[in-house]
Amino acid sequence: MSETDDIRGLPARAAALDLLGTALSRRAGLDEGLNHPAMAALEPRDRAFARALVMATLRHLGPIDTALQSRIKKAPPERIVNVLRLGAAQLLVLKTPAHAAVGATVDLAAAQKGGEVFKGLVNAVLRGFTRDPVDLDEPELMLPTWLAARWRAAYGPEAARAIAAMVAAEPATDVTLQDPADAAEVAAELEATILAEGQLRAGLKGEISTWPGFDAGRWWVQDASAAVPARLLHVQRGETALDMCAAPGGKTLQLAAAGARVVALDRSAGRIKRVSENLSRTGLGAEVAVADAAEWRDTREFDAVLLDAPCSATGTFRRHPDVLWVASPADIPKLAQVQMKLLDSAARRVKSGGRLVYCVCSLEHEEGEGQVAHFLARHKAFALNPIVAGEGGSPEASRRDDGTLRILPHHREGGTDGFYVARLRKA
C-alpha cells in the first residue's frame, strides 16, 4: 500500500467506523448505514473498501472480540472498541500490510473525541496481533452464546457447528430467472451454476446492476432458499395470489412471472416502492398496496396466499452478519405475536380449497414449527399439504417428517439462507 493509499484510506476507515457502529446498534442498521449519504459520497473505491472492511469485521466478530478481550484489561469506550475491531479485521481477515493497517487504525483512534489517549493501546494491541496471529476459524466462537445454545438444542451439536462454520464465508449471489428456459444462456453470461427451477448462483462480482440481463429484467437477486416458498404454491396462469409482506418483491415477481394475478402488500411505503421498481424493470404486473397485512380491510379471497412473515431473521446471517449481534432472546416471543396475527389474517384471505404458504427466514422454533402448530389448532379448516423432498428447488435434507421444510444454511453446498416453510390447504 502506497503513501497515497494511506491518505485515501482514512476517510474510508472513518466511514467504516460509522457503519460498524450503526450496524451493531439496531436492527436493519447495516442496510441503513450502507444507504446513508455519507457512504454514497465516498469514491467508489473507498466505498467498496469500507463495506468490505465492515463485513469482514461482522463475519469474524466473535473470534475478534475473544482475542481483544484476552489482550485488554479495561475496556475502552465502545467507539474505540470498534476501532480495534476494524484494525483486527484488516490484519487478520483482509491481510492488509501491518504498517498500513496499524498506522491508519492508530490515526483513526486519534481522530475520535478523546481518542488521543488510546493511541498507545491501539498500537500495542494491533502490534501484538502481528507477532501472535489469531485463529479466526473456530466455529464455536462465531455465534453469541445464547444463539449457539439454542441451535445446539434445536438441531444437535454437529448441525449447530456446521451452521456456525457458515458465518465467516462470503456468500455468492443467487438470482431467479423470469423465464427458466433462459437458464443455460444466462448462466453463461453470469458465469453461474444452475441450481434448480430457474435458479442460478452467479460467479460474477461487482456492481450487480451492470451485469448482463439486469436492465432487461431477465432475472432478479434472490437467495436460493427465499425462492422456494413461492414455487411451492404452484400458481397457474390466471389464478389469484396475495403476497402479504411483499417487499423487496422477489416472491411477487415469481408469482407474476408464473401468470398469476398478484396483489403485493406491504406496510412500508418506502419498501413497496422497491416492489414497484422491480416490477417496472422486469416488465411484470401486479397490484401493489400499502397496508398492515394484519389489518388489511380488503375482503377478497385468493387461490394462493404467501406469507413471508417478519421475523428475527437469524437465518440470513450469511448476507446480514449483524443480525447475530443485534438480535436478542426477547425479540422472539414479540415477533411470534406479530406472526400469529398475520397468520390469522392470512387464513381469512384463502378461498375454500386454496393454498397458504407460511415462511420465515428464522432458525428459531417458536417462529416456525411452533407457530404452525398453534395455527392449525386455531384454524380447523386448514391442514398441512406436505412438501415432497426436493420440491420447489429445496434441499432434500431440509424436508421434515411432517412435510414442512427446515432449511439450514449448510444444507446447500456453498451455503443458503436458513428458512422454515409450511404449505397448508383450506378444506
- Cα–Cα distances in Å, from 230 out to 223, 238, 242, 362? 12, 16, 11, 17
Cβ contact 19:51 at 8 Å: yes
CA distance 346 to 348: 5
- pLDDT number for residue 181: 96
CA distance 100 to 220: 39
Sequence-distant (≥ 6) Cβ neighbours of residue 207 within 8 angstroms: none
CA distance 161 to 235: 37
Q: Could you say which DSSP state residue 57 is in?
A: H
DSSP helix/strand/coil, 363: coil
Cβ contact 421:407 at 8 Å: yes
Catalytic residues: 361
Strand 302-308 relative to strand 419-426, pairing: unpaired
What's the average pLDDT block by block, 10 residues per block, for the chain (427 residues)?
48 93 86 82 90 96 96 94 97 94 96 95 96 87 96 97 95 97 97 93 94 97 98 98 96 98 95 95 97 96 98 96 95 97 98 98 98 98 98 97 98 97 98
Report pTM. Answer: 0.94
Q: Which grid coordinates belong to 172? A: 455468492
CB atoms within 10 A of CB 396: 10
- Cα–Cα distances in Å, from 417 out to 79, 112, 232? 31, 37, 17
DSSP helix/strand/coil, 345: helix
Burial bucket for residue 75 (CB in 10 Å: 0-12, 13-18, 19+): exposed
